Structure formats: structure tokens, C-alpha cells
Amino acid sequence: MIIVIDGPAGSGKSSTAKAVADKLDIQYLDSGALYRTLTLIYLESGKDKTKFFELLNQKSISFYYTDGAFNVSIGKQNITDHLRTVEVSEHVSTVAAMLKSREHVNRLMRKAVQQGAWIAEGRDLGTAVFPDAELKFFMVADLDTRAERRYKELKAKGTDITKDEVKKRILERDRKDSQRKSDPLRKADDAIKVDTSEMTFEQQVNFICSKITDKFQRLLKY
């Protein structure tokens, strides 16, 4: 069973999906972390597309969720701590816009969710990756709220950045995500819209959990 949460940067997808996974005791899948993993490989290639895809085909990517953290490894090396750097953030949209990148990540995700119950979050899961997902959510929030959330997240990690810079990057990410040719960001017709601008974190988690348990109470006990 797969449940998906889509939405723009800073809308609260990651933290909410992890909290829902923990509360309902299901697996969590972070598609953004997988694109950031590919971005690390892209940077390793010197931003050369041909070399990038050669390296990508040579490397083994694995991931697992435990103790509130989505861990990713390339080969035997856990690279989770390197995924949220400013350099990766600046190039992840470029990598995510490449059709071959999206196909690679989609294969990884589809293979992972073949067994058990999962909640995944991203930008095109309900429209492109899992169009037949059992339940879909689309999270949104106003720009100031999203920028504030991302700013606090980055400052907590020790990143030297201003709120204005964060806001500019979110706007640019929104533009790239919504205008890319391959699977642009958009709300699936059958997705439940969740505007978190005026919701507390607990409220948004409880809202999504209630929708899931109302529909899948028996299925969650797998």
C-alpha cells in the first residue's frame, strides 16, 4: 500500500510524512533525498551529463528509514549528512529535471514499495510515480511560511544564510519544478489539498492520519 504527499518546497511534506509514518507504524520514503543523492553523483561528475549517467549506472543506491531518519547510502558509504548542503540544494532542480534521473529514482521507489505499507513524499508522486496510490495529499503553504520553515531548518544545521536568500531559492525552485518538461509539479485531481499556512504541526499530522485511518484502518495492520 502506498500513500503519497506532494507539494512545493517548504510546505512541510518531509516532517509531516515522517511523523505520520511514526504514528501509524508504516514505512517512510523520501523522494527528495534520492534526488539529492543523484545530485551528489552529478557534482562528482563535474556536472558533466554524460559522465554523470555513466557514474549513476555504476553506483548502487540503498536506503532505509529508522529512528526518525531516512538514511541513504551509495555503495557502502552512508551519505545522508551530505544531502542538505547548499551546493546540493542549488543543483538538485537541474538533476531532477533530467528525464533519465527521474526514471532512475522512480524505479528505485517503485521497487521499494512492493511490500508493506508506505508513505512517500515528493513533488510528482501522485501524478507520475504512483498515479494509482491508495490515497494522495497535496500540501501547500504561503511563501513566507515556507521560507521561515526552511530558514529555521538550515540555521539549525549551521548553514550561513539569510531569510531573503531562502525565499529567493524557494521561488526559483517553484519555478523550475512547475515548468520542467518531465513530470512538472502539480496537484493530482484526486489529491486532498492540505493548506498548512495556519495549521500547527500537530494539526496537520492529525488531519492526515485521520484521513488514512478512516480509509485504511484494516489494511494498516499488515
Per-residue model confidence as pLDDT tens digits over 86-131: 899 889 989 988 999 999 999 999 999 998 899 999 888 999 999 9
pTM: 0.81
Residue 18's SS3 state is helix
Per-residue model confidence as pLDDT tens digits over 34-56: 999 999 999 999 999 999 999 99
| Higher-scoring residue by pLDDT: 107, 222 | 107
Alpha-carbon gap, residue 60 to 119, rounded angstroms:
23
* Residue type at position 162: T
What per-residue confidence (pLDDT) applies to 222?
Answer: 47
Which of the four pLDDT bands, split at 50, 70 and 90, describes residue 191? very high
Structural domains in the chain, CATH included, are 2-211 (3.40.50.300)
What per-residue confidence (pLDDT) applies to 24?
Answer: 93
Average pLDDT over residues 31-35: 93
CA torsion sign for 94, 76, 18, 148 is negative
- Dihedral (Cα; 117, 3, 169, 94), 10-degree rounding: 80
| Higher-scoring residue by pLDDT: 14, 20 | 20
Per-residue model confidence as pLDDT tens digits over 130-183: 999 999 999 999 999 999 988 988 888 888 899 999 999 999 888 888 888 878
Burial of 2 (0-12, 13-18, 19+ CB in 10 A): buried
